[in-house]
Amino acid sequence: MRQGGHTPIGFVPTMGYLHEGHASLLRRAGEMSSTVVMSIFVNPLQFGPNEDFASYPRDEARDLELAEREGADIVFIPSVEEMYPQPIRTKVSVSSLTTQLCGASRPGHFDGVTTVVSKLFNIVQPDYAFFGLKDAQQVAVLRRMVSDLNMNVEIIACPIVRENDGLALSSRNVYLSAQERSQALVLSRSLQSVRKAMEEGEVRTVDEARNLLVSVISSSPLAVIDYAEILTFPDLEPLDGSSLLTDADGEVIMALAVKFGRTRLIDNNVFIPKEAHALV
């Protein structure tokens, strides 16, 4: 980190349409930083050709009210033309970590994320950058980018913020119909079911845990599973399906991506199996 008389800068990059999850990032940034900068930029590079860039929800006035309320000192709202004044020929790409989970179903997505975040880091020059663990793969990718490229910033991962009924907060939740939103609760319920089954000794192997995830999600008629995976974290390496979860060293992630109608939602749980499994 920077030395001398420098006062720390905390940075919260967002795509806008802010909610309590973003507010929690701003509050954490305020606890650790003298100056809090938030950016609002819907980045076209991380959207595929059939994704929702044009229709992605936007409400700048509402976002600015939340930013002021939560103590942001500076809000940076560049246009696409300002961020990409000419066709971009330089991209930042992290290999391996981006080939599974969301990277498998959204090719090029993480190249767009790492490229824009690199640009934002160069513009803002933060000491700390705050990201929610709802997109745990993004956190893992950005931490690896920062480490590999010796960037002078620390990635701070913050807990998932949920509605009272368990649904993880997301700007895309606004797309859900009432019926879809009700059925989307199956995501957090599936993660809780596996953790409970592990604690009670009913689930022991990776395949058993994955099968239970899929079974619970499939009980929702509107749910279309993109992936339901269990991997090491943060390296996102596959685990042998027949192996005991307690044989995994360190943390693992149960990660989900499921569509309800036109809305694709993600959720996850990062934990240490040796601490979660029943001592039987």
CB 113 within 8 A of CB 43: yes
Cα torsion 69, 72, 78, 80: sign:
negative
Are 268 and 136 a contacting pair, CB within 8 Å?
yes
Residues labelled catalytic: 22
As a whole number of angstroms, the distance between CA 74 and CA 55 comes to 26
The enclosing H or E element of 266 equals: strand 263-271
CA angle 50, 51, 56 (to 5 degrees): 145
> Within a 10 A sphere around the Cβ of 244, how many other Cβ atoms?
15
Contact 210, 201 (CB under 8 A): no
